């Protein structure tokens, strides 16, 4: 503590560091929103693709079953087997929920959320006078490093 300063007062350096941590938090929240929206968009597109393929497969299955029921040809059982395979394939497509890309975006969004939460905790501790300026500088460096590593992983 410098002479003439009252306990609990903050330095310009500390307030500048606090501002820099807030900027890191905002950048992390922007990354969180971006990846959350990307994951939702990918899931939506995949759901539409699955729905279209399910409809097409259902139509094909219905036609093949109808032909199998009304056919007196010797190839009746292969057609029924094809219809059963189509139904199984349709079930697999409809029950598949999360593609890998959406899962990756959700994981990256979670990591961005963790960085933003760590920044908030650091600022709160600084405001409650639990961290001095030197500790705040070390935590700022750590948060910036985490954010840069996360951007590199997400890129």
* Rounded Cα–Cα distance for residues 76 and 64 (Å): 10
Is there a domain that residue 19 lies in? Answer: yes
* 16: in domain: yes
Instruction: Establish if 3 belongs to a structural domain.
Output: no
Does any domain span residue 144?
A: yes
pLDDT tens column, 53-82:
778 777 877 777 777 777 676 566 666 777
Is residue 128 one of the residues assigned to a domain?
Answer: yes
Q: What is the overall mean pLDDT for the chain?
A: 79
pLDDT digits (tens, 9 = 90+) for 112-134: 999 999 999 988 888 887 878 88
Domain annotation covers residue 1: no
**How far is Cα 59 from Cα 74, in angstroms, rounded to an integer?**
23
Q: Terminus-to-terminus CA distance in the chain, angstroms? A: 43
Count of domains observed in the chain: 1
Residue 5 lies in a domain: no
Let me know if residue 24 belongs to a domain: yes
Q: What is the pLDDT of residue 114?
A: 92
Secondary structure, 3-state, the chain:
CCCCCCCCCCCHHHHHHHHHHHHHHHHHHHHHHHHHHHHHHHHHHHHHHHHHHHHHHHHHHHHHHHHHHCCCCCCHHHHHHHHHHHHHHHHHHHHCCCCHHHHHHHHHHHHHHHHHHHHHHHHHHHHCCCCCHHHHHHHHHHHHHHHHHHHHHHC
Per the structure, the complete domain to which residue 112 belongs is given by 12-154
pTM of this prediction exceeds 0.85:
no
In terms of residues, how long is the chain? 155
Per-residue pLDDT reduced to its tens digit, 75-124: 666 667 777 777 777 777 766 656 677 778 888 889 999 999 999 998 88
């Amino acid at each position: 503590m410098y002479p003439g300063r009252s306990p609990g007062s903050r330095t310009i350096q500390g307030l500048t560091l606090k501002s820099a941590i807030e900027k890191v938090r905002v950048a992390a929240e922007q990354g969180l929103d971006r990846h959350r929206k990307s994951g939702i968009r990918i899931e939506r597109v995949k759901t539409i693709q699955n729905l279209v393929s399910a409809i097409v497969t259902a139509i094909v299955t219905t036609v093949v079953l109808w032909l199998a029921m009304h056919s007196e040809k010797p190839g009746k059982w292969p057609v029924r087997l094809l219809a059963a395979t189509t139904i199984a394939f349709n079930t697999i497509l409809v029950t598949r929920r999360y593609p890998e890309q959406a899962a990756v975006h959700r994981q990256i969004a979670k990591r961005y959320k963790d960085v933003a939460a760590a920044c908030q905790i650091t600022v709160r501790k600084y405001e409650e006078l639990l961290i001095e300026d030197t500790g705040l500088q070390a935590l700022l460096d750590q948060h910036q490093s985490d954010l840069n590593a996360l951007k590199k992983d997400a890129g």
